[in-house]
Amino acid sequence: MDHARTLSCQRLRGSGSNRGAQCHHAQLEMGGVLMTIIARGTQTPRHCRGRRKESPSGIRRQTGTPYVPYSGAVSSADAKSALHRDRPPIAIMGVPFDNVTMRETVAIIETMIASRRPHYIATANVDFVVQAQTDVELRRILCGAPLVLCDGTPLLWVSRLLGNPLPERVAGSDLVPLLLQRASEKGYSVFFLGAAPESAEAAVARVRAQYPHLNIAGHYSPPYRDLLEMDHEAIAGRIKAAQPDLLLVSFGCPKQEKWMAMYYQSLGVPVMIGVGGTIDFLAGRLKRAPLWMQRSGLEWIYRMIQEPRRLFKRYVKDLWSFGWGVLAQCFWFQILKMRAEGPKSEFRSSKSESLVRVPVSDNQHPNPNQDHNVVPYKQASAHS
């Protein structure tokens, strides 16, 4: 067990990419989360964007493209040209979110599967952002993820306040049914990992009934334990034997993100997605909020009514921490914006004050390249 714990820690520390390490070092050098917010502004910092490793498939994390159904093989060059960077990502309280729509996300995932290279995807909500303020490993993992999706309407609102609006919410509970449909059409194999055993079995049964042609490679609900106490060899053995194209991980945040960062390279699954409670939605154990509540950002109230014991305390903490964090980021964003615009306005005012319009007599012969009605301020005072 000690050897497994040491190996897991080493994998966790070694996961991610240069972008995550650069973000982490920058946060430590600047003195904490607040100074990181000040330095980052609205977009992901340049030193984190520019030095981030490109994935082996050629897919960059800040990508966007109209949805085009995948057909045939896709090379690295095709992935680079098709998934070009249209919109820059935005950092909200230090967590970078990719500026992509739902259709673009499905297209990116299909290209990831075609590349046969391992990737992991995070569907981050407000709770992710709050936990990342105190969990350095989670923040580093999110900075190094090939794709971080916006799974929360409040995050959309904040992105608009910061001047780099995200196009729409890409919730895991909405994304997974679309991926299952595409997997049924394209022949991708899917593996369900996590959730309670009864929820996983019910979800698999309902998915098979809804998508009869879907290739379900398997499902496994390991006993509930802490991350480093889990039987990782048993989990890895089942996944390697199944060889799925798409792995849906439902351990909850931050456990599922840390597990994916530890094992996504060694397992070789093309796409791992942390889906949280989506398997419970597929099983019918939990119900989605009405559409009007989802669009208005009130789905959390509906969720809290269904699971008050588990969610009430968490939502109160998230509301307090997220609210103050957003206020701090917006405050410093306005200060930096005013500082950036200050020198320009002073330059314009000084330039306008240096010129005075005075009439020019006919016997004078001004420079033909000059405005005949404008003379330097010193000349104007001499005439007066």
Q: What is the pLDDT of residues 192-223, one digit of tens each?
A: 999 999 999 999 999 999 999 999 999 999 99
Domain match, 156 and 226 both: yes
Q: Are 272 and 260 in contact (CB under 8 A)?
A: yes
Paired with 323 in beta bridges are: none
Tokens 């430590």 belong to: 28
Whether 23 is in a domain gets the answer: yes
Domain match, 309 and 374 both: no
Give the pLDDT band (50/70/90) at residue 95. Answer: very high
**Average pLDDT for the chain:** 75
**Side-chain half-sphere of 228: how many Cα atoms within 13 Å?**
12
Paired with 43 in beta bridges are: 90
Whether 234 is in a domain gets the answer: yes
Q: Are strands 215-220 and 189-194 parallel, antiparallel or unpaired?
A: parallel
Domain match, 110 and 231 both: yes
- Of the given ranges (80-89, 105-114, 326-335), which has the lowest mean pLDDT? 80-89
- Looking at residue 138, its pLDDT comes to 96
Domain match, 114 and 11 both: yes
Domain match, 154 and 19 both: yes
Whether 72 is in a domain gets the answer: yes
Q: What is the pLDDT of residues 240-252, one digit of tens each?
A: 999 999 999 999 9
Whether 341 is in a domain gets the answer: no
pTM of the model: 0.68
- Looking at residue 229, its pLDDT comes to 92
Give the Cα separation of 146 and 60 in Å (integer).
7
Domain match, 271 and 366 both: no
- Looking at residue 174, its pLDDT comes to 93
Domain match, 362 and 235 both: no
Give the pLDDT band (50/70/90) at residue 265. Answer: very high
Domain match, 301 and 363 both: no
| Residue, of 84 and 85, whose pLDDT is higher | 85
User: For residue 376, what are the domain limits?
Assistant: 354-384
Whether 111 is in a domain gets the answer: yes
Whether 349 is in a domain gets the answer: no
Whether 344 is in a domain gets the answer: no
Domain match, 148 and 187 both: yes
Give the Cα separation of 372 and 182 in Å (integer).
71
Token pair in block for residue 30:
């600047």
Give the pLDDT band (50/70/90) at residue 135. Answer: very high
- Looking at residue 341, its pLDDT comes to 80
- Looking at residue 368, its pLDDT comes to 52
By residue count, the chain amounts to: 384
- The backbone region for 371, taken as left when phi is positive above 0, alpha when psi lies in -120 to 50, beta otherwise, is beta
Give the Cα separation of 12 and 144 in Å (integer).
12
- Looking at residue 192, its pLDDT comes to 97
Tell me what percent of the residues of the chain surpass a pLDDT of 90.
47
Token pair in block for residue 211:
């998508």
Q: What is the pLDDT of residues 328-346, one digit of tens each?
A: 888 887 888 888 887 654 4
Q: How many domains does the chain have?
A: 2
Give the Cα separation of 60 and 142 in Å (integer).
14
Domain match, 177 and 276 both: yes
Q: Are 122 and 144 in contact (CB under 8 A)?
A: no
pLDDT at 382 over 70: no
Domain match, 157 and 273 both: yes
Domain match, 104 and 181 both: yes
Whether 192 is in a domain gets the answer: yes
Q: What is the pLDDT of residues 160-199, one digit of tens each?
A: 988 889 999 999 999 999 999 999 999 999 999 999 999 9
